[in-house]
Amino acid sequence: MTLSFFVVDDEPDIVDLFQQRFRREVQNGECRLHFAHSGEEALRLIKEGVSPEPILILTDINMPGMDGLELLERVKQHRPDLHVVMVTAYGDAERRRLAAERGATDYLVKPIDFNALKTLIKEIGANAIPLPMRAVDSEDESEE
């Protein structure tokens, strides 16, 4: 099975970095990488559909225009079944809390530990990691 995921980051060198770090997995057909340089581009591509269907979005938080937190929120409105992992250069507790409330699967701090990321992706692909419940969803259910 080919695991497909998006990498969303405004830094141009991210494409080369991920292609290098996932070279073996891509060559073996184990994974397929999709790239977007902005939240807006990622959202458009997700709505248009890519093949194979992605299981995960790995997004930087700090980007011009639509930041990663807004992308997370918009993705969860359109595709609540999609895992979203937030990446940041800052270990900001407030942003981590907001990401969790909005339904992020995980929160990684740069520099990325690619071995840990590969393990996380495999676990998501094997359905070993459940989708987190959004705080808003929990509140809505308790009001019924």
Torsion angle in degrees (nearest 10) through CA of 140, 73, 128, 33:
160
DSSP 127: T
Do residues 137 and 15 touch, judged by C-beta distance below 8 A? Answer: no
Task: Please say whether the dihedral angle defined by the alpha carbons of residues 76, 78, 83 and 87, taken in this order, is positive or negative.
Answer: negative
In one-letter notation, the amino acid at residue 38 is S
- pLDDT for 1 equals 79
3-143 fold: Rossmann fold (3.40.50)
Q: According to the model, what pLDDT value does residue 142 have?
A: 39
Query: What residue spans define the domains of the chain?
Result: 3-143
Each residue's pLDDT tens digit, 46-87: 999 999 999 999 999 999 999 999 999 999 998 999 999 999
pLDDT in tens, 107-132: 999 999 999 999 999 999 998 777 88
Tokens 């070993």, located at residue: 128
Q: How far apart are CA 60 and CA 100, in angstroms?
A: 15
pLDDT value of position 31: 95
Q: Considering only CA atoms, give the Rg of the chain.
A: 15
SS (H, E, C) 7-23: EECCCCHHHHHHHHHCH
